[in-house]
Amino acid sequence: MPNLPLVYTIVLAWNQVDVTLECLESLAQSDYPNQRIVVMDNGSTDQTHEIVAKRFPNVEILRVVENVGLARGYNLGIQHALQNGAAYVIAMNNDTITAPDMVTELVNALQAHPKAGMVSPKIYHYYGDQTRLWCAGAKWSHFPPRIKLIGSDAPDNPQFQREFPLPFVTSCCIMMTRAALEKVGLFDPGYYFYYDDWDLSERYWRAGYEIWFAHKAHLWHKVSISTQKTDKPQKWWFVMGRSSVRFYLQHKTPLIFAFYTLWFVLRETVKLKFSKRVIPYLCGVGEGLAEHRGWRP
């Protein structure tokens, strides 16, 4: 398709092969003809790569033997896409379902904004009311100092039926241009997960690229399917603490980070989650601070 930009769609998967297959089924209905799909198998132990290969022989599969984290996993897929001539790259979670015209609408949004380096679709909840938003990007909140989702759990009203620039996007699903990736770089591999997308958004804006909300591109997210039935494990809170140090000290100030940490500790203590959340979070903060000082924890 010489007149259409080549789009590589990177689906990051870690176990949950049935979820990955449902995502690929939706992508198979895409009306965008010049698309290649890659499953980045991030250390799955449920034969994801073998099952996907049998069900979708046209899907490319990359695989690592252990989970290297979200940022590194995406980067391996993005590097493969760029090496094979991608003009645009989509990075998306496997726990998503796409509308048939999502890829087309993301391409249209990028081409409508020459300064854009990244666009994000409108993301709905998959479970429950599928007309309610999971998010329409994210923005900075001054009190408490944190990034919060735009339109979280809101009905899809006229406010979200237009394009607008976004301060931040979630790596649940984003489309990036080749030029921006080559200038700004990929995801920061220092983030195992959490804050990786906020960091990338900051770097895009600082490099002079715009980020836009593509309201006609629709996607449904099976929110936190791996942890929705139980509380998140202590490792999750540890990584959140470690990542928060990296993000706040790179893009904000130590004072803002201290204020955020205090707010987090108070909030979770009131919820009676001190041992399950606060302690591992603070341990992660300690490791993050050690790494920031150049120490090897």
Q: Mapped to the 3 state alphabet, what secondary structure does 49-95 carry?
A: HHHHHHHCCCCEEEEECCCCCHHHHHHHHHHHHHHCCCCEEEEEECC
Q: Are 65 and 145 a contacting pair, CB within 8 Å?
A: no
Residue 51, SS3? helix
**Which is nearest to 77 in space by CA: 41, 106, 46?**
41
Nearest-5° angle of CA 239, CA 253, CA 234? Answer: 15
C-alpha distances (whole Å) from 150 to each of 30, 86, 159, 205, 257 are 27, 30, 11, 18, 22
Question: How far is the C-alpha of 122 from the C-alpha of 159, rounded, in Å?
Answer: 12
Residue 235, pLDDT score: 93
In our burial notation (b when 16+ CB lie closer than 10 A, e otherwise), range 140-151 reads eeeeebbbebbb
Q: Using alpha carbons, select from 140, 139, 136 the residue that is nearest to residue 153.
A: 136
Name residues whose C-beta falls within 8 Å of residue 61's C-beta, 6 or more positions apart in sequence: 38, 39, 41, 49, 52, 53
Report d(CA 103, CA 90) in Å as an integer. 9
- Quick check: 237 and 284 in contact, CB under 8 A? yes
Task: Give me the average pLDDT of each 10-residue run along the chain (297 residues).
Answer: 87 96 98 98 95 97 95 98 98 98 98 97 96 97 94 95 97 97 96 96 98 98 64 91 96 96 96 94 96 75
The dotted CATH code for 7-221 is 3.90.550.60
> Token digits for 113?
């904004």
Place of tokens 């629709």: 218
Alpha-carbon distance 60 to 262, whole Å? 45
Question: What token pair was written down for 288?
Answer: 């993050």
Amino acid symbol at 234: Q
Domain regions of the chain by residue span: 7-221, 234-292
CA 76 centroid distance within chain: 15
Q: Tell me the angle at which helices 234-251 and 279-292 cross, rounded to the nearest 10 degrees.
A: 40
Contact of 134 with 124, CB cutoff 8 Å = yes
Q: What is the pLDDT of residue 226?
A: 47
> Strand 35-42 relative to strand 96-98: parallel, antiparallel, unpaired?
unpaired
CA–CA separation, 195 and 21 (whole Å): 27
User: Alpha-carbon distance 257 to 281, whole Å?
Assistant: 13
CA distance 136 to 99: 16
